[in-house]
Structure formats: structure tokens, C-alpha cells
Structure 1
Amino acid sequence: MTTEKNIPTLYEWAGGMPVFEKLMTAFYDKVLQDELLEPVFKHMSPEHQRHVAHFIAEVFGGPKMYSTAEGSHFKMIQKHLGKHLTEQHRKRWVQLLIETADTLQLPDDPEFRSAFVAYIEWGTRIAVINSQETAVPLQPDEPMPKWGWGEPGGPYIP
């Protein structure tokens, strides 16, 4: 959905669902080869990559595939409880995701990458916090995060 100023959503600017699904498939292939992260993710379901792709795509303004058919923000938070993720896990996860985005040539303009990295930083920091808990006092109808361009006002077009 394009805004009234004809500024595309982050989802649209990135290239839509095929890009997010390809990103998460390639990324989790790297995760499963990573000495630090493989033990954390080796038991993930075969659908995990697709669910994460749909979650992030929805956060970035894409279709509500995750929240209407696969889970909710509350359920995503629940998946991290008791995992005891560390800052080292978080930093490696972020590093591999950004490397994968570069390899797949996701848009690299400053505004898109700033928004993309900002969300990944925000989300992974919350995941680490929640992973130390056994319960989080949130309601099951906790709304999905919505991420946009932020203050810059849209994609950088030279």
C-alpha cells in the first residue's frame, strides 16, 4: 500500500514477499552453518524461515499473512521466552542478516537500510530481553509492530 505521498512501504521498496522469503531462507541457511547460532536454531521447524519472512514483511507494511494465519506479535514474543539469548547471539544474528541482505542485493540506499537495520536492532534487543523471562505481561491481542521510513520521509533516490 503506497502512502498519500506515493512513498512506497518498506515492504514494497524491498521488492515484496518473494524478497523476504528468499532473504530468510538464505539467512537461516547461514545460521545453521554458524558455530554460535546453530545450537539455538537447530531444532526450528521447517516453516520457521517462512514465518519470520511473513512476520518481518508484515511489520514493514506487507500483507497481514503472519497475523491472520500464522501467529501474532504475542505468539512471536512467546517463542523467545526462556531461550536465554545473549548479546553475542544477537550481534551475530544481526551480522548474518545484514550480510545476507547485501548478498541478495536488497536495496542499499541509506533510508531503506537505516529503517531495516533500525528494526532488526530493535527487534533483536527485545528478543534478548524476552528470552531471559519465563512470562511476559502482554495481552494475547498485542498489536503487530509497524515500521516505516522514520524521519527521513522516504527512500533515497539519487
Structure 2
Amino acid sequence: MGNCQAAEAATVVIQHPSGGKVERIYWSVSANEVMNSNPGHYVALVIASPASARRRKENGAAAVKQQLKLLRPDDTLVLGQVYRLISFEDVLKEFAAKKCVKLGKLLKERNQAGRRFSSAKAEHGEEQQSLGSGGDGGGSSGIARHQGGGGQWRPALQSISEIET
């Protein structure tokens, strides 16, 4: 009688996406070699999350949540680990989903910042209008003047008379 668990620990287990095929390799191999023998696929390390292992103990036979870590082509597959082949399309979908989530968060932050900016701008605009309609009645002492027709903004400065002493 042999020790089956010892033989399992001394293998690299590769799970294929189609048909549930499991490949066992009895030596260390690079991810690049596995990718070359399975065109259109990447190799990912299967990591069981510790929180899901605790839940399994508490809830009986609950489903195990597994995370995948993509490997670089120059990474080496280690004996005793489980790896999964992932199609190129699935990798693109995952990256697109993560990018979409990040973009959504960024847009939400910008919208909140934009609202704060626009409310501050509105308050500042009211102050500027009150300064622009200043005390001489003509409005010429304002900070800025809007030229009619052209739609361009041009600064208007008050003239300062020189006093000779």
C-alpha cells in the first residue's frame, strides 16, 4: 500500500476549463510551457480564501470561494499547487469588469467634487456680481467686464490717478 496523498502533493495539478479535465505534471514547469501547449489560455494559481474555509466549517458543506491569481509566463508552477487554465476572453472580460467598477467610482467621486465646486462657484459668482455693480453707479469699477456680442471676457482695470507731490 502506498501513500496516495504524498503522490498528490508531489504533482502540479492543472484544471482545464472544458470538460473538467485535470492534468497532473510530476515536475516543475514554467507557465510559458503550459500556455504554449494550450494556445489562447493563461495559467492562474487557485487560491482558496481563508474566510470561506471558516464559513465551510461553520455552515457544513458551503461552497468554497476561490480566487485566481494570473501568472506571468516566466513564473514557475510549484509542486503541490493547483492551477487553472483561463481563456483569453475570460481574462479580458474580468479586466473590463474591474476597469468599469474603477471608472464608476472615479466618475462618482468627480460628480461629488463637481457639485461642491459648482456650489462654491455659485457663491463666488454672487460675490463677484455684487462687487461688479459697485458704488459709482456706472459699473466701471468692476473686476471684469464682458464685451457685448463677441462673448469674450476681457479684464477691466480701474484707472488710478497719479498725485504729484
TM-score, normalising length: structure 2: 0.21
More helix by share: 1
CA radius of gyration, larger in: 2
* Higher strand content, 1 or 2: 2
Larger RCO (alpha carbons 8 Å, 6+ apart):
1
TM superposition score normalised by structure 1: 0.22
